[in-house]
Amino acid sequence: MDLELGGKVAIITGAAGGIGRATANIFAAEGARTVVVDRNAKGGMETVAEIRKAGGEAIFIRADVATAAGASRMVGRAVEAFGGIDVLHNNAAIIRSHSVTETSEAEWDLILRVDLKSVYLCSRACIPVMKKRGGGAIVHTASVHSFASIPAISAYAAAKGGVLALTRQMAQDYAADGIRVNCVCPGATDTPMLRTAINETENPRKTWKQWEQACPLNRIGKPEDIGHAVVFLASPRASFVTGQALIVDGGLLAKL
């Protein structure tokens, strides 16, 4: 399907693996010049190698997007390489499984910085460049935890709730500039982050099965399931969609 992304410049943060890598590959396959951003240089270069092997165009930028300097460096390098920015996918995130009383202040600050502050910093850095191009699209990775949650995931749930609220707010501020802002809300998705969390449980095999059974489609999502949703929201096919949360969870939140 032609999503009319030929020649567009798309930045994907947290693109060394998981949802970010899948999304970067799909953007590239749809013709976008892709900027792969992560702190993990090895994984980021592997993503770029996959894209180039498939005939796409991509560069890797090593940056800590949870800092203003990292976000600024990302934008500067992207503009230097490709001349501008049309799409930003704010995807960088980490997770820890602790309740409020189990969460240290340092851990709370780290998760909120990576999962929420990076969204603000990267958006703040990219929006002026998008305005010069006459508009663009921003897609945040929120979560089903933006709407409902499970025990012992306090900081992550708080951050993802913030991402959802920020999506709605930003959509209003930048609509007049031709910038659409949406978020995608994955359910359980087969990523290194999920596998690490599940492997830390008492019975990982049982936990994995429980997550599968919790979903009406009886499976855990694939990173590509989320990637296709992100690329749709960033494409002209979604030109009248802004301020929205697209839930991609196999029906998880549809259950009582």
List the chain pLDDT tens, one digit each, 256 residues.
Answer: 455 799 999 999 999 999 999 999 999 999 999 999 999 999 999 999 999 999 999 999 999 999 999 999 999 999 999 999 999 999 999 999 899 999 999 999 999 999 999 999 999 999 999 999 999 999 999 999 999 999 999 999 999 999 999 999 999 999 999 999 999 999 999 999 889 888 888 899 999 999 999 999 999 999 999 999 999 999 999 999 999 999 999 999 999 8
Quote the domain boundaries for residue 46.
9-186+222-246
Residue 254: φ, ψ to 5°:
-80, -10
Residue pair 78/85 in contact (Cβ under 8 Å)? The answer is: yes
Q: Which two tokens stand for residue 96?
A: 């820890």
In a domain, 1, yes or no: no
Q: Are residues 125 and 212 in the same domain?
A: no
**Contact predicate 160/193, CB 8 Å:** no
Question: Is the distance from CB of 76 to CB of 65 less than 8 angstroms?
Answer: no
Domain total in the chain: 2
Q: Supply the pLDDT for residue 200.
A: 84
Do residues 89 and 70 share a domain? yes
Contact between 224 and 20 (Cβ < 8 Å): no
Active site (annotated) includes residue 120: no
Residues 127 and 203 grouped into a single domain: no
The distance from CA 146 to its chain's CA centroid, rounded to whole angstroms, is 14
**Length of the chain (residues):** 256
User: Over the stretch 154-187, which tens digit does the pLDDT of each residue have?
Assistant: 999 999 999 999 999 999 999 999 999 999 999 9
Could you tell me if residue 200 is inside a domain?
Answer: yes
Q: Hey, what are 163's tokens?
A: 């991402």
d(CA 65, CA 68): 7
Work out whether the CA dihedral 196, 201, 204, 208 comes out positive or negative. Answer: negative
143 within a domain of the structure (yes/no): yes
In a domain, 198, yes or no: yes
pLDDT of residue 1: 45
CB atoms within 10 A of CB 72: 16
Catalytic annotation, pick one of 27, 60, 156, 208 = 156
Tell me the C-alpha distance between 38 and 90, whole Å: 11
Helix axes 154-174, 105-112, angle to 10 degrees: 30
CATH of the domain at 133: 3.40.50.720
Do 233 and 149 belong together in one domain?
Answer: yes
Same domain, 159 and 138: yes
pTM of the entire predicted model:
0.96
One-letter amino acid of 3:
L
Average pLDDT over all residues of the chain: 96
